[in-house]
């Protein structure tokens, strides 16, 4: 079994600022405020969380092929 990656680089779709974040393993992250432009990001339609929408790595449940947040 592959190990789960717990860090992801989130890139703001508005300003392009990227920041490495540690992903929660016990909850979804539905909102993310960009540290640079302060805009609040929400998941894209069809994605379970902002990590899956804007991160360099999908959230831990999706990496494990489990249902996420639902």
Residues of the domain holding 44 = 7-63
Report residue 12: phi and psi, to 5°.
-65, 125
Number of domains in the chain: 1
Instruction: Determine the pLDDT at residue 64.
Output: 85
Instruction: Determine the pLDDT at residue 70.
Output: 54
Q: Is residue 18 part of a domain?
A: yes
Q: Is residue 69 part of a domain?
A: no
- What pTM, to 2 d.p., does this model score? 0.85
Q: Is 33 helix (H, G, I), strand (E, B) or coil?
A: strand
List, in order, residues 6 or more apart from 10 with CB less than 8 Å away: 18, 19, 21, 32, 50, 51, 54, 55, 56
pLDDT tens-digit series, residues 14-70: 999 999 999 988 778 899 999 999 999 999 999 989 999 999 999 998 888 877 765
Structure tokens at 19: 């920041």
């Amino acid at each position: 079994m592959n190990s789960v990656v717990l860090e992801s680089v989130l890139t703001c779709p508005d300003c392009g600022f990227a920041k490495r974040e540690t992903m929660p393993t016990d909850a979804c992250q539905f909102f993310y405020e960009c540290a640079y432009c302060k805009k609040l990001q929400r998941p894209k339609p069809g994605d379970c969380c902002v990590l899956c929408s804007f991160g360099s790595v999908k959230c831990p449940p999706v990496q494990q092929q489990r249902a996420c947040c639902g």
